[in-house]
Amino acid sequence: MTRPLSIGVAGLGTVGAGVLKLLSDNAALIAARAGRPIIVTAVAARDRARDRGVPLEGLRWHTDAVMLAHDPDVDVVVELVGGSNGPAKALVEAALAAGKPVVTANKALMAVHGAVLAKQAEAAGVTLAFEAAVAGGIPAIKGLREGLAANRILRVVGILNGTCNYILTCMRDQGREFADVLAEAQALGYAEADPSFDIDGVDAAHKLAILAALAFGRPVDFDALYVEGIRNITALDIKLAEELGYRIKLLGIAAAVEGGISTRVHPCMVPVSHPIAVVDGVYNAVVAEGDFAGRVVLEGRGAGAGPTASAVVADLIDIARGRSTPVWGAGTADLARIPNVPMEQHRGAYYLRLMVLDRPGVLADVTGVLRDHAISLESMIQRGRAPGEAVPIVLTTHECQEAAMRAALTRIAALASVLEPPAMIRIETL
């Protein structure tokens, strides 16, 4: 075998320790597949005293992660610090400037700065690999960028955040409310102490921005995404969705539509017959539709030490073998400048739940507003009577424009008989 590939790892948290463990436990297998051994020669982390559960003896230790880029015995820099700016960005920029390949698991960095970093990697003639940035151990990046390279991608849909999927699954299976399940998820370690990045859809949006760039061969554009989280989903909505033949999932959707590309993250009602509807718990899934390959479904663990380390080491094996692909699947000069279609132009069906006073004329008032905005109803659920009390009315609509629906909801919310803001969830037939 040829000279070992020496790597420096920045960040020794869950994923960093997982990478060191994987490289040690599967060393012989990895060497055979890489054509040479892959060894860790240096690490960067702030706390030397903390027990990471893996041996660190004999490794050079840098308290400043950027020093890995200048370490003469480091061939490849592995960035596992996280965050779209700060030390992570500084390290990746320094490594590329030094002509060293970089492997990162940093979805925020790639979503926000991936266009600039890709140009820097291209100019330096080195690899910038990020398989671990999306969906953990699922080979979503390679699947889109290389496996489906001959296809015109029509749409990419994903369950991209395991925390949200776990919460929605528990709410459905146990009939519990969002706040209760979130507290349990935090206690179990599935959700952070500050869970806003997960439950507000930002984490999923970072990943979707990356998938959209790969799918449609255009520069990554995080700011173009519409993002909505799951804070307002209730156990009642989940129960009613099941009655209507749907399940509620937080989805990232990037699709070629009339006028350009639509990129959005929000709760969706999906038919129970669709493969993505049965992906539960902390699992992730990515569904891509190619013009020749058709529908391709990838499912697996989207986070954790083992799955994410698996993706990191897969990138290292590619580098050891000399396999290199442009960051976004094509050279930066060849990326398409396809316009973004704003959310207001989205067309689809909708689920509406209204809490109203049970009295004559209420339904006529609501349907009159929908009529004024050219929104037609597909179905309605109203059970029992409770004159003078609050009752739920559930409506599903035929396809209409998002702007019209938002305008209608503003008027409906202002009706005296409507007691709380209407709940609205988009229906995706996929």
Q: Is 90 exceeded by the pLDDT of residue 385?
A: no
Contact indicator for 47, 37 with CB cutoff of 8 Å? no
Q: Is 90 exceeded by the pLDDT of residue 383?
A: no
- List Cβ neighbours of 187 (8 Å cut-off, separation of 6 or more): none
Q: Dump pLDDT digits (tens) for 330-374.
A: 999 999 999 999 999 999 999 999 999 888 889 999 999 999 999
Q: Which residues of 364-384 are buried (b: 16+ CB within 10 A; e: fewer)?
A: eebbebbeebebeeeeeeeee
Burial class (CB in 10 A: 0-12, 13-18, 19+), 89: buried
Residue that has been written with the tokens 């529908």 in this structure: 295
Cα-to-chain-centroid distance, residue 69: 29
Mean pLDDT of all residues in 257-264: 96
DSSP character at residue 106: -
**Superfamily of domain 140-301 in the CATH hierarchy:** Dihydrodipicolinate Reductase; domain 2 (3.30.360.10)
Q: Dump pLDDT digits (tens) for 34-46.
A: 999 999 999 999 8
How many other CB atoms are found less than 10 A from the CB of residue 242?
14
Q: Is 90 exceeded by the pLDDT of residue 396?
A: yes
Residue that has been written with the tokens 């209409």 in this structure: 400
What phi-psi label fits residue 385: left (phi over 0), alpha (psi between -120 and 50 degrees) or beta? beta
Q: What is the predicted pLDDT for the residue at 279?
A: 97
Contact indicator for 66, 91 with CB cutoff of 8 Å? yes
Q: Is 90 exceeded by the pLDDT of residue 144?
A: yes
- Rounded-to-integer distance, Cα 105 and Cα 128, Å: 11
DSSP character at residue 165: H
**Superfamily of domain 5-133 in the CATH hierarchy:** NAD(P)-binding Rossmann-like Domain (3.40.50.720)
Q: Dump pLDDT digits (tens) for 266-315.
A: 999 999 999 999 999 999 999 999 999 999 999 999 888 999 999 999 99
Q: Which fold has domain 344-427?
A: Alpha-Beta Plaits (3.30.70)
Give the three-state DSSP class for 100. coil
Report the DSSP pairing between strands 390-397 and 347-357: antiparallel
Residue type, 122: E
Mean pLDDT of all residues in 76-88: 95
Q: What is the predicted pLDDT for the residue at 384?
A: 65
Give the three-state DSSP class for 157. strand
What percent of the chain shows pLDDT beyond 70?
99
What phi-psi label fits residue 271: left (phi over 0), alpha (psi between -120 and 50 degrees) or beta? beta
Q: Pick the closest to residue 89 from 111, 115, 109 (CA basis).
A: 109
Mean pLDDT of all residues in 39-65: 88
Give the three-state DSSP class for 273. coil
- Rounded-to-integer distance, Cα 25 and Cα 29, Å: 9
Q: What is the DSSP string of 338-354?
A: PPBPPGGG-EEEEEEEE
Per-residue tokens: 105:
């698991």
Q: What is the dihedral of CA 193, 197, 199, 202, to 10 degrees?
A: -170
Predicted confidence band of residue 391 (pLDDT cuts 50, 70, 90): confident
Q: What is the predicted pLDDT for the residue at 78?
A: 98
Q: What is the predicted pLDDT for the residue at 58?
A: 86
- Rounded-to-integer distance, Cα 212 and Cα 226, Å: 13
- Rounded-to-integer distance, Cα 24 and Cα 214, Å: 32
Q: What is the predicted pLDDT for the residue at 176?
A: 95
Predicted confidence band of residue 2 (pLDDT cuts 50, 70, 90): confident
| Mean pLDDT of the residues in the chain | 94
Q: Pick the closest to residue 4 from 323, 325, 319, 314 (CA basis).
A: 319
Rg (CA), the chain: 24
In Å, the largest CA–CA distance within the chain is 83
Helix (H) / strand (E) element for 34: namely: helix 27-34
Per-residue tokens: 423:
């709940």
- Rounded-to-integer distance, Cα 406 and Cα 411, Å: 9
Report the DSSP pairing between strands 423-427 and 347-357: antiparallel
Contact indicator for 115, 335 with CB cutoff of 8 Å? no
Mean pLDDT of all residues in 133-138: 92
Q: Is 70 exceeded by the pLDDT of residue 1?
A: no
Q: Which residues pair with 102 in a beta bridge?
A: 77, 128
Mean pLDDT of all residues in 60-86: 95
Domain segments of the chain: what residues?
Answer: 5-133, 140-301, 344-427
What percent of the chain shows pLDDT beyond 90?
87
Angle at 427 between CA 236 and CA 136, to 5 degrees: 90
Q: Which of 166-170, 222-226, 416-420 has the lowest mean pLDDT?
A: 416-420
Q: Pick the closest to residue 265 from 212, 186, 337 (CA basis).
A: 212
Residues classed as catalytic: 207
Q: Which residues pair with 300 in a beta bridge?
A: 284
Q: What is the predicted pLDDT for the residue at 347?
A: 96
